[in-house]
Amino acid sequence: MKQDLKSSGFFVNKDKSIWQPTKKLIWLGFVWDLNTHTLEIPSEKIQRFKNDINSLHSVSPTARQLAKITGKIISFMPSLGNICRIMSRNMLMLISTSRYWDEQILLTSNAISEINFWHTNCELLPSKTLFSNNFLPDKIVYTDASSFAAAGYTVETFKKVVHKMWTFEEKQKSSTYRELKAVLITLNSLMKYFHSRLVKIYTDNQNVVRIITAGSMNAELQVLAIEIFNLCVQNNISIEVDWRFQFSYWKDLQSIQNPSLRDFASKLPNIAEASKSKNTVKKYSYAFKRFSVWCSNYDLCPLPASVITVAVYLSFLIQSEVSSSVLNGAFYGIKWEHDLNLYSNVFTSDFLSIVLEGGVRLLSKPVNKKEPITHDIIKRVIDKFGLSTNLADLRICCLVLLSYAGFLRYSELSHLKASNLRFYDSHVEITIVSSKTDVYRQGNVVVIAKTNSDLCPVAMLKRYLEAANISISSDEFIFRAISFLKSRNSHILCKANKPLSYTRARELLLSTLSEVGCKKEQFGLHSLRSGGVSEAAHNRIPERLLKSHGRWKTDLAKDGYIKENLKNRLSVSKSLNL
């Protein structure tokens, strides 16, 4: 093997290479031990870590020094697990308060405790196993808390029940605090039954699951998380925490035994997602992730979220002065996630709709529509670049004429392939495979006539395809990136069959418009679509044909693209015979 690698041109690193079979090796910064099935931290790495802690020397290290320590702790997670997150929260909170990396930080007592913990225990903590062991729990515990009391019990023949009434101070705490305290009280009270056991704890608060697993940036909750951790370590208890309502419709599908039914059921998630376009699903997913992060900062439950949680989040976005589209995206992204998990009843509240409507009104700004590209501008572009044999010039001319004549959105134009074109004596037929308004992908056909003039879009399209060497029967995208070959002193299409990006197409169009004397800030790619339909409307083309050619569903959508010329606007007052 060594010789094969050398002969193939590889440089062999002798220090890092192991040529004999082994059950123990260092790879990716960890010791992979197949004898014990563990992932361990190398002793040299541990020693360097302890040296870094020793080098702090004072209770006022810089943010950079503390970040170096916490960074190494987090890097231990593959070996040591979630303890790395739990026992570094206070240090991370201090780092987040610093204004710059070299600012000195006064360590709190909790942060000092974390540093001492790692200095003392980093060599003693057990390593994670490489292969997960799915053991049944020895004890199953349910806990719950209200604003008045907390309770917990074990699932056994003879139930052992714990309950506690909250003090006045505890009643003022958050629901997450009380639920977390309920877990701690239950563990403490039934400790003699849990010693050296695997305990499964069910709670109805998702935040409790996360905090026990990874700690909290809230100092009060972090104290409880550490108490639970220490209690388990001291009594050799292994705990698994789960949300007792995490069962959802999708999880229930796993219980289906019939193979045929299981096959049908397995397709349901994809079918549900297909109700929206891929871009919409992606947008909703990002919106919900941002909501989840926001919830975690305030220890709120994102799924299912309460009406008040969603309303406060919308208020946060409104006061952050996001755009109305971002606000709508957030609302419908959260709603989408709840609908998928059968929590749609949250969004039956009229209050959320009222908050959304109010936010949209407050955030709305005057619409600054781009100007339509007129017939005169099209003529100036073709007069300047249309006679060129340069592929780049032909591409922009073809792009302009097709968009203008076909009322094409750029998403439709960019995804045109040569196989979508059919040429006839009098026209070209363009199949739009995917369109914004064609949600069921039935397909649309746009026909563009031959005009036999200098501005003929069909003639320009043929010239461009010939210059680009694109075969009509191929699946190549028509509009792609172009490379310049110095050896030939000419442009060629890039081999990568990827459509020209929106950003690049917009740059090319605006640059072209600047060269023919237009103010480029007044125009965009949609100006071609609006320019084409405006010109057709001025020429009295029937409304039905305009809608069909532009693939608009409603008159309202179509009318938003048409800019009436001055002559037509004046005709209204002239008709009054004043």
- pTM metric for this prediction: 0.49
- For residues 55 and 350, what is the distance between their CA atoms, to the nearest angstrom? 59
Strand bridging mode 149-154 / 139-145: antiparallel
Residues of the chain with pLDDT under 70: 1, 57-59, 131-136, 156-159, 243-255, 262, 266, 269, 344-345, 367, 435-443
**Termini Cα distance of the chain:** 97
- For residues 335 and 331, what is the distance between their CA atoms, to the nearest angstrom? 6
Q: What is the pLDDT of residue 544?
A: 85
Q: What is the pLDDT of residue 345?
A: 66
- For residues 457 and 463, what is the distance between their CA atoms, to the nearest angstrom? 10
- For residues 301 and 211, what is the distance between their CA atoms, to the nearest angstrom? 12
Q: What is the pLDDT of residue 440?
A: 42
Q: What is the pLDDT of residue 234?
A: 86
Closest CA to 428 of 395, 392, 471, 460: 460
Residue 74 has a CB neighbour count (10 Å cut-off) of 12
Strand bridging mode 38-40 / 427-432: unpaired
Residue 65 neighbours by CB under 8 Å, 6+ apart: 55, 56
Residue 399 neighbours by CB under 8 Å, 6+ apart: 413, 479, 505, 508, 509
Residue 11 neighbours by CB under 8 Å, 6+ apart: none
